[in-house]
Amino acid sequence: MNTLAEETSLPKESESLWGKAWYKFRRDRTGMIALGVVIFFMFIALGVWAGLWGSGWSNVGGDMWAGPSPEHWLGTNIIGQDIYSRAIYSTKTAFEVGMVVAILSTILGGILGALSGYFTNSWVDELILWLMGVLDSIPFYLFVAAIAYALQGYPYSMHIAMIATFWTTTARLVRGEVIKLKNFEFVEAARAIGLPQGKIIFRHIMPNTFHILLVQATIVFVGAIKSEVILSFLGLGVVDGVSWGLMIAESTQEVQAGHYSNFLTASTFLFVLVMAFNMFSDSLQDALDPKKVSA
């Protein structure tokens, strides 16, 4: 009786796997709060893209190390630039880097992982596994810094460096999932009616790995933002613009002089966004767990 009552009390949207995942995610208070914070930061980034705020990040309109005031809410840096405008504009930089790297590296990892899993023990699988092994054997930040330095002056050098390294984890996860999926009845039926292998992989198998790709994209998004901050701090990241990494780099002299606003502002923005996205990613992973969703 109780089981029947519980089942009939569930909303209709929870009947499908994606509906169940969304229903479970909505009931996760931590995940919903984290999602709200991420959406708020995205709103800030969209406002910068639209030119509504943050456009004066490079203007030198104040005194050196001026304190908070109605003109400069968070004070100014060493050359009189508004710290608030620079932090707001850096939010756009973070989302640009995070989204580009997350989307492209997830697509690359998904495709190569699917090919490797479907053609297990073939030369395709061996080549992709060898490439992943080579990339994973090199210290991450050393490899990213080396690529960014080699392509220094190219506006997307940092993006290329991170995409070249972030796809391997996604590929490994997708490969393992595809190895299981390719023996399912729907794949056997597709082979039996003579569908091309490419259509089987990309139309019938890969859509069933979307839950993995979605979670991995959120994880890569966070990793890309943190990597951008480190590279920009080292002078290998953002060139024509500003980011939280550049703000932290320029604040090293200011902290020594007893001025902490630049450092605290950039660090706080970075911490809040990364923490929120990590909590959102964890909640999303729990909601999309096939074992828990189908339970």
229: burial class by Cβ within 10 Å (0-12, 13-18, 19+)? Answer: buried
- Length of the chain, in residues: 295
pLDDT computed for residue 174 by the predictor? 95
In our burial notation (b when 16+ CB lie closer than 10 A, e otherwise), range 273-285 reads bbebbebbbbbbb
Measure the CA–CA gap between 190 and 171, rounded to whole angstroms.
23
Q: What is the DSSP string of 138-153?
A: S-HHHHHHHHHHHTTT
**Residue 7 belongs to a domain:** no
Its pTM stands at: 0.86
pLDDT of residue 45: 95
Closest CA to 277 of 82, 45, 48: 45
Is 247 contained in some domain? yes
Which of 194, 196, 262, 249 is closest to 57 using CA atoms?
262
Please give the structure tokens belonging to residue 54: 């943050």
In a domain, 37, yes or no: yes
Residue 117 and residue 122: Cα distance in Å, rounded?
10
CATH number assigned to the domain comprising residue 176: 1.10.3720.10
Per the structure, the count of domains in the chain is 1
Residue range of the domain that includes 263: 18-55+70-293
Residue 3: the pLDDT is 40
In a domain, 9, yes or no: no
* Residue 136 included in any domain: yes
Q: Is residue 8 part of a domain?
A: no
> How crowded is the C-beta side of 120, counted as CA atoms within 13 Å?
13
Q: What is the pLDDT of residue 10?
A: 43
**Residues of the chain with confidence (pLDDT) below 50:** 1-14
Q: Where are the alpha helices (DSSP H) in 64-156?
A: 83-118, 123-137, 140-150
For the chain, give the mean pLDDT.
Answer: 86
pLDDT at 90: 95
Q: How many CB atoms lie within 10 A of CB 53?
A: 14
Q: pLDDT tens for residues 163-193?
A: 988 999 999 999 999 999 998 888 889 888 9
